[in-house]
Chain A
Amino acid sequence: DQQVKQNSPSLSVQEGRISILNCDYTNSMFDYFLWYKKYPAEGPTFLISISSIKDKNEDGRFTVFLNKSAKHLSLHIVPSQPGDSAVYFCAARPGGSEKLVFGKGTKLTVNP
């Protein structure tokens, strides 16, 4: 049973436009959500996070939105740059847990 779902395996956008990556979850016990970025043959790096008590968190070009009623979060990248091309993983933490549950990832390609 996949608790964190990234239904789009890939996304392609033009440089300068907005990239929107989506993530749905099923476990209402998740209290913290994170986005990681991963380049090929490298480990993921933390990008941005949001607590379940908030609905938006912003860091430069990256904004994460959380809609708890819909059990949906999204990552917005504005403006998109070619260097943003990578696989993006959505992750969630069940409250009080030592584990993160990861989605399958979305491969973003930003075309010059």
Chain B
Amino acid sequence: DGGITQSPKYLFRKEGQNVTLSCEQNLNHDAMYWYRQDPGQGLRLIYYSQIVNDFQKGDIAEGYSVSREKKESFPLTVTSAQKNPTAFYLCASTRRGGVRVTGELFFGEGSRLTVL
């Protein structure tokens, strides 16, 4: 079945450590996105990528980094520079043209990161 796989589902890390969250999709989607959700908050865009080897900052990119070496994969690294990294992270994808054309995003099941 096609879908978006995020791993790990739960992750605990010590403060000051970088951590990488995996996102893989087999939907043949061109565009991929990373969102962050905090309790009582909406989803906020961290980074997005329309094509391989290209990505743009979203609204809250500081302290995060991404890469897009393959169409299927869009890993997110939460660096030690991120002031408040504990959150629920959601990866999403959509068809060619991205949100501008279709509007609809397909989400993974999320990764919950807790920094101790």
Is residue A42 contacting chain B, with contact meaning CB distance below 8 A? yes
Size band of the B side of the interface? 20 to 34
- Say yes or no: A93 contacts B103, CB within 8 Å: yes
Nearest opposing residue in chain B for A90, CB measure: B42
Rounded to whole Å, the gap between the CB of A40 and the closest CB of chain B is 10
- Say yes or no: B104 contacts A46, CB within 8 Å: yes
How many angstroms from the CA of A101 to the CA of B107 in the assembled complex?
Answer: 15
- Say yes or no: B99 contacts A104, CB within 8 Å: no
Q: Mark A20-42, 1 if CB is under 8 A from B, else 0.
A: 00000000000010101000011
Is residue B31 contacting chain A, with contact meaning CB distance below 8 A? yes
Question: A89-B43, A104-B41, A105-B42 are contacts. A99–B109 as well, Cβ < 8 Å?
Answer: no
- Say yes or no: B42 contacts A46, CB within 8 Å: no
Q: Mark B78-116, 1 if CB is under 8 A from A, else 0.
A: 000000000000101000001110011111111010000
Rounded to whole Å, the gap between the CB of B32 and the closest CB of chain A is 11
- Say yes or no: B42 contacts A102, CB within 8 Å: yes
Question: A89-B43, A104-B41 are contacts. A34–B107 as well, Cβ < 8 Å?
Answer: no
Q: Among B40, B45, B98, point to the contact of A9 (Cβ < 8 A).
A: B40
- Say yes or no: A43 contacts B42, CB within 8 Å: no
Q: Mark A85-109, 1 if CB is under 8 A from B, else 0.
A: 0000101010011111111110000
Residues in B with CB closer than 8 Å to A49 are: 103-104
For the complex with contacts A4-B42, A41-B112, A102-B42, 19 further pairs of A-B residues with Cβ separation under 8 Å are A34-B103, A41-B9, A43-B92, A43-B109, A44-B107, A46-B104, A49-B104, A91-B43, A93-B99, A93-B103, A97-B99, A97-B100, A98-B50, A98-B56, A99-B58, A99-B59, A100-B43, A100-B45, A101-B42
